[in-house]
Amino acid sequence: MLRERRRNVTDDSDVAQARVFLAALDREIDAVSLELEQVRRFVAISSEQGNDTSEIRHREKMQEHKKVLRELHRQSENLRLRFSLT
């Protein structure tokens, strides 16, 4: 009985910690998504102006943001599945 009670307290604290981390991940996903949209606009502007160097640099930055965003979504999904969070 005592062992099960300890396990429940530990499980509850793990879920609470997962919720806090998930909220932080969600905020980071929002921030990176906004940055990605801004970089996409810079790509379009650079392309319209014929500034190839700037366009290439912004496209590279866009790829970096996409990679980070995929990783953040992966972590978020893993937390949601592991702790049955919505």
Cα separation, 39 vs 8, in Å, equals 46
Determine the straight-line distance between the first and last CA of the chain, rounded to whole angstroms: 30
Residues 6+ away with beta carbon under 8 Å from 61: 39
Residue 81: its pLDDT value, please? 95
pLDDT tens-digit readout, 4-30: 555 565 588 999 999 999 999 999 999
Residue 11: its pLDDT value, please? 83
Asked if pLDDT for residue 1 goes beyond 90, the answer is: no
pLDDT tens-digit readout, 47-81: 999 999 999 999 999 999 999 999 999 999 999 99
Residue 5: its pLDDT value, please? 55
Can you give the pTM of this predicted structure? 0.83
